[in-house]
């Protein structure tokens, strides 16, 4: 059984002006997501600025979100690292904190071989009992998890159950699904590609768009699963101008700006990320107005 089906939000981490985590606003954002129909929460991923957190902050944020969510929807914790021992540590701590699943990005910078990826992910999986989604995003990590590698891991490691695919390479994704069949739970990592990935057998999306429009992202998936493919496609295409602006600068710069425009007080970013350029923010604001968010 999949960890979730539909639209899971790649949750931002709100910050105060001094750079500390704003747990009061984080609680509000989690409640906004649940009320808006989000199907799962992915905490401490790329969008959550996990790479700019201390380990203590990372674990406390996972614990806090699990407590606030209180089993109403699944919580998936990002616990990947480029050092296997760190990924094991974070994964164990996330399991103890109450997470329902884990998201493991491929090791960045090291650029492991496919053999190394198999060894890395297997070692982390064997250290915990939670279901695990791999995260393939070669544009950030510098390495692609090959379809054959994903299929082998999902087939041979009992708690590696699927993948968040953000490569944008539909030939590789189709190859994966032809190899893996029912043993891989596939999720889109790109908000502009939800419907085509669902057509290849996807279970849903792990979404940046969901931060600002949780119901719309949910509805794209729900309509597809209900057989309303035309309506799902319409909603997908309607979202494209906003999605384009949400990725006009590196994620999560634009989505934090969008939440601030909505009065959600997501706050600033941690260096090395900086605030959105004014000309990009103006385009983002226009796209949000056209989409009915502000």
Residues 180-231 have pLDDT tens digits of 878 999 999 999 999 999 999 999 999 999 999 999 999 999 999 999 999 9
> What are the Cα distances from residue 247, in Å, to 73, 134, 284?
27, 22, 10
**Among 92, 109, 135, 230, the one annotated catalytic:** 135
**Residue 187 is among the residues annotated as catalytic for this protein:** no
pLDDT in tens, 18-36: 999 999 999 999 999 999 9
- Tell me which residue of 288, 255, 289, 280 sits closest to 14, measured CA to CA: 255
**Residue 108 is among the residues annotated as catalytic for this protein:** no
**Tell me, what's the pLDDT at 93?**
98
Contact 53, 63 (CB under 8 A): no
Q: What is the mean pLDDT of residues 138-155?
A: 97
pLDDT in tens, 1-20: 899 999 999 999 999 999 99
**Among 23, 108, 109, 164, the one annotated catalytic:** 164
Q: What is the mean pLDDT of residues 156-165?
A: 98
Q: What is the mean pLDDT of residues 136-164?
A: 97
pLDDT band of residue 45 (cuts 50, 70, 90) is: very high
Total-model pTM: 0.97
186-189, long-range: CB < 8 A, 24+ apart: 186/162, 187/8, 187/133, 187/162, 187/163, 188/164, 189/135, 189/136, 189/137, 189/164, 189/165
Pairing of strands 185-188, 40-43: unpaired
Work out whether the CA dihedral 240, 246, 250, 251 comes out positive or negative: negative
Residue 137, φ and ψ in degrees, nearest 5: -140, 75
E-strand ranges in 13-92 read 40-43, 75-78
pLDDT in tens, 265-274: 999 999 999 9
Neighbours of 196 (CB within 10 A): 15
Superfamily holding 6-228: Aldolase class I (3.20.20.70)
Cβ neighbours of residue 103 under 8 Å, at least 6 residues apart?
42, 45, 76, 77, 78, 79, 80, 132, 133, 135, 164, 206
Q: What is the mean pLDDT of residues 249-277?
A: 98
């Amino acid at each position: 059984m999949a960890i979730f089906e539909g639209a899971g939000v790649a949750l931002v981490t709100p910050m105060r002006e001094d750079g500390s985590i704003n747990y009061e606003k984080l609680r509000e954002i989690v409640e906004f997501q649940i009320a808006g129909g989000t199907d799962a929460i992915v905490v401490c991923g790329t969008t959550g600025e996990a790479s700019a957190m201390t380990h203590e902050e990372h674990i406390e944020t996972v614990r806090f979100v699990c407590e606030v969510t209180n089993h109403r929807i699944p919580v998936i914790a990002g616990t990947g690292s480029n050092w296997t021992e760190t990924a094991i540590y974070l994964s164990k701590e996330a399991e103890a904190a109450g997470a329902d699943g884990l998201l493991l990005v491929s090791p960045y910078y090291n650029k492991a071989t496919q053999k190394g990826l198999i060894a890395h992910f297997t070692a982390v999986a064997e250290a915990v009992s939670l279901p695990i989604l791999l995260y393939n995003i070669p544009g950030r990590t510098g390495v692609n998890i090959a379809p054959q590698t994903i299929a082998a891991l999902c087939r041979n490691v009992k708690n590696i159950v699927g993948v968040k695919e953000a490569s944008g390479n539909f030939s590789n994704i189709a190859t994966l699904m032809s190899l893996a069949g029912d043993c891989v739970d596939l999720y889109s990592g790109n908000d502009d590609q939800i419907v085509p990935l669902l057509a290849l057998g996807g279970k849903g999306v792990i979404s940046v768009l969901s931060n600002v429009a949780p119901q719309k992202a949910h509805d794209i998936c729900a309509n597809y699963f209900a057989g309303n493919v035309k309506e799902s496609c319409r909603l997908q295409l309607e979202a494209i101008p906003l999605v384009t602006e949400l990725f006009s600068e590196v994620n999560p710069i634009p989505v934090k700006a969008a939440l601030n425009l909505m009065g959600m007080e997501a706050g600033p970013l941690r260096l090395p990320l900086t605030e959105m350029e004014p000309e990009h923010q103006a385009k983002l604001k226009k796209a949000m107005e056209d989409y009915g968010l502000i």
